[in-house]
Structure 1
Amino acid sequence: MNYIQDMRQLIGSNLLMTVGCGIILEQHGQILLQHRKDRDVWGIPGGVMEPGETFLETAVRETYEETGLQAENLQLFGLYSGAQGYAEYENGDQVYSVQIIFHTQEFSGELIQEGAESHEHRFFKPDALPQINAHQERFIMDWVNKASLPILK
């Protein structure tokens, strides 16, 4: 099932509201980021909720699909909404996304470097981040700044 593709066939590029779920995977004080293929930016693994999924199921599924890692013992990091949730993609598709972000230091598996959506995955120190996806900057910077959890924005 691909809810987004189905909806795009019905509404074209008009505004679509989505729920995105992602995980900040932390190891030894570093954050795992993926270098996206669709844009030359880095961000955390995650993606859009499919109908019937829970927030946790979405975050774990998307993270596994993109990284090969099985995240465990997730804690709520933050809930993100507001004007920064609006985006228009190069193809003209408009989206407003509410983001539910989790955090964990517990995960297993073998890290996949290149996949359908990413060139590579790498751990970064807070003071040595690459070019971050603008739509994820606020929660990545909340992690860098050790904001009080959970974050409600």
Structure 2
Amino acid sequence: MGSRRDYYRDPNAPKANTLVPGGSALIVDEGGNILMQRRRDSGNWSLPGGVMDIGETLEQCVVRETREETGLNIEITGLLGIYTDPEHIIEYEDGEIRQEFNITYYGRVVGGRIEVSDESTSVRFLSADELADVPVHDTVRLRLQHHAEGRSQPYLG
């Protein structure tokens, strides 16, 4: 796995050279804890997800990526929001500089068991208190905040 660096509202961020559709899943257990993975490439805790492959829908992508990254099978149950802030830039060591494009779905576990993939160092459900004390990128914190607000409509941004 390569490394990545996230820039958010940073005037020194490099100029994006790609835009790639991606999605993630916000999955809550019976106790209100949220499924998170600790990314190997950045060390941040994040929602499971990834980028689309040709031939699949974004929902199928999020189900596949969640299974690959966490070992859990999920179904999509709703939409948290659309996150396409041009001020969130992700720089990869191979020279790709990507503008954020993420649609975050709600999902629920329907099978499988938690397993750590080669993309992460840990996968588990974290409480709100735990999430306050671990490294989480600001753009993921925004999604967690939108979830905590119990919005009646998806975030569009």
Q: Which bin holds the TM-score, normalised by the shorter protein?
A: 0.7 to 0.9
User: After superposition, what is the alpha-carbon deviation per residue over 1:80-119, rounded to whole angstroms, capped at 9, x for unaligned?
Assistant: 112244222355420013111111234321110x211001
**1:136 matched to 2:136:** no
Aligned to 1:8: none
**1:16 matched to 2:18:** yes
| Paired letter, 1:75 | G
Aligned to 2:119: 117
Q: Superposed, which structure 2 residues align to 1:103-114 within 5 Å? A: 103-112=106-115, 114=116
- Tell me the number of residue pairs that the alignment of Structure 1 and Structure 2 aligns: 140
Q: Percent identity?
A: 31
Shift of 1:14: 6.6
1:53 counterpart SS class = coil
Aligned to 1:64: 67
Segments of structure 1 that go 5 or more residues without pairing to the other structure are 1-12
| Paired letter, 2:120 | S
Query: Per the alignment, do residues 14 and 103 of structure 1 end up closer, same or farther by CA in structure 2, a change over 3 Å counting?
Result: closer
1:57 counterpart SS class = helix
Distance in 2 of aligned mates of 1:63 and 1:71: 7
Aligned to 1:9: none
- TM-score w.r.t. length of structure 1: 0.81
Distance in 2 of aligned mates of 1:111 and 1:84: 33
Segments of structure 2 that go 5 or more residues without pairing to the other structure are 1-14
**1:34 matched to 2:71:** no
User: After superposition, what is the alpha-carbon deviation per residue over 1:8-31, rounded to whole angstroms, capped at 9, x for unaligned?
Assistant: xxxxx9711101111001102110
Distance in 1 of aligned mates of 2:88 and 2:70: 24
**1:25 matched to 2:27:** yes
Query: Per the alignment, do residues 149 and 125 of structure 1 end up closer, same or farther by CA in structure 2, a change over 3 Å counting?
Result: farther
Q: Quick check: 1:85–1:98 contact (8 Å CA) kept in 2?
A: no
